[in-house]
Structure 1
Amino acid sequence: MKLLIFLPFLTFASAACNADNCLRALRATPTRASSFCATYTKSTSTATTIPTFGSFCSNAPSRVSSACSCVVTSTPPPICRPSPVINAATRNGNFEDYPPPGQGVMNIQPPWYYDETGSANAFGDYKIEPSSSGFGGASGTVAAFHLTGQAPNVLPGAVLRLQQPIAYCNGTTYAFSLYARQLPPFNQDCRLSFFTDFEGTIATFETPAFSNTFQKYGPVTRKPFRDNGEINGKGEYTDILSIIVQCTGITGQPVVDTLFEVDAVRVEPVV
């Protein structure tokens, strides 16, 4: 017997699934019952009739709803699973696995890209460094920051930003680190920073820390948060991660250009 359904879906009254004749009838035809119940238990039901097994439920929508609640298994919401979100841990591989100069379009290779707006005194590119550069391992591509020499006490001086979108799992603590070096002559005061648009400065490293061989900077731990934006259904949100290098002249020193090289940027969840 079929019964037209005029009632909206009723909220399940009990989490217990007692095997009465109604539930047994649905379980006897699991494929058919699951297909029906998946539609019937929507907040706005598009089902128009109860199939023949409804007779075992006294053709009562409340009993059908209750039985369906034991047949339909809800799909759990997707979960944000934090994982290393930047490039591979291997040192001195190709920067972000992008092609070296001459084998791809430079400066606009997603996801990393140089922000050169308002940076007439700086530019960025990618260059190949051999293993003899002091980094160790095989030769590979690094991100290069070319900063034009600035007269002493000129602010903001030369500044350049390398950036990419980044997705965080909300509430997860991350460790930020990278390898970098400054090539001589050291005639400018420089700082290198991790920066995000919503967080601001994560960490800053100053001139005394730099050398002409690659050194590891970090890890610096931080639990990012976003109180002025949306978090998606997986519990994550996006931000813009930047590596910023800024240099100014040193009083009494000649005005010279400065070159920074960056590799192996890492943002990893802290377990």
Structure 2
Amino acid sequence: MNAQPVFPDLKGASVFITGGGSGIGASLTEAFLRQGCKVAFVQRSDASVFCDEMEMKTGSRPLYLSCDVTDIDALKGAIAKAAEAHGTITVLVNNAANDQRHNTLDVTPEYWDWAMAINLKAYFFAAQAVIPGMQKAGGGSIINFSSISYMMGNGGFPAYTSANSAINGLTRSLARDFGPDRIRVNALAPGWVLTQKQKDLWVTPEALAGHVERQCLKDTLEPEDITGGCLFLASSASKMMTGQALVIDGGVVVTG
């Protein structure tokens, strides 16, 4: 794992991550553990082996709670269990998502509802569940993972890009509503990160070469490349930053 800066204020913080046992989420879990945080995460598939690995590598074991984030009652229950085990959650990372490819003409109302449930609805209700505790604690940080896909105008998964764009609206509204409680809400938009899922399903030499050509920085993105930005948004180093979208994509969607 890439060396990360240390943020002393994160030591001992109660952190909750959705989808924290695989892909980018697994790197986030490890990064927060290495900061001395108490980390709980949810995902559908069994993560016992991953927790064993994290305990061996970091000396701390994350709390794994089996949960489908589209089941809002189960998600709220997992958040409550995490708070009971680790104390009030002061860092929420809404990371779980599904960028399944789909054709506009084939999308049914049921598929649309499922895509919104995993890519947007779960974000809102996870935030709703942690905000009262953050208010009592005097503040907190909510980090909503989005993607550069909608910024690029990518086709092939319109329900996913619609949710990505909506995450920014949600982020800004929550930042405005709960800023007086010192609750910061920011979005983090990665570029094409080469997780194992991406490699198995969608990475081809031609597609990857074409994408890297669009980047200012010509290295491919790995999950570990996203963790530093997330730690920064979680820590007091970004204490006056809220309602923003932090892009980590190697310079694809540049501005100016």
The TM-score range, normalised by the shorter chain, is under 0.3
Q: Which has the higher contact order (CA 8 A, sep 6+)?
A: 1
TM-score, scaled relative to structure 2: 0.26
TM-score, scaled relative to structure 1: 0.25
Structure with the greater alpha carbon radius of gyration: 1
Whose helix proportion is higher, 1 or 2? 2
Whose strand proportion is higher, 1 or 2? 1
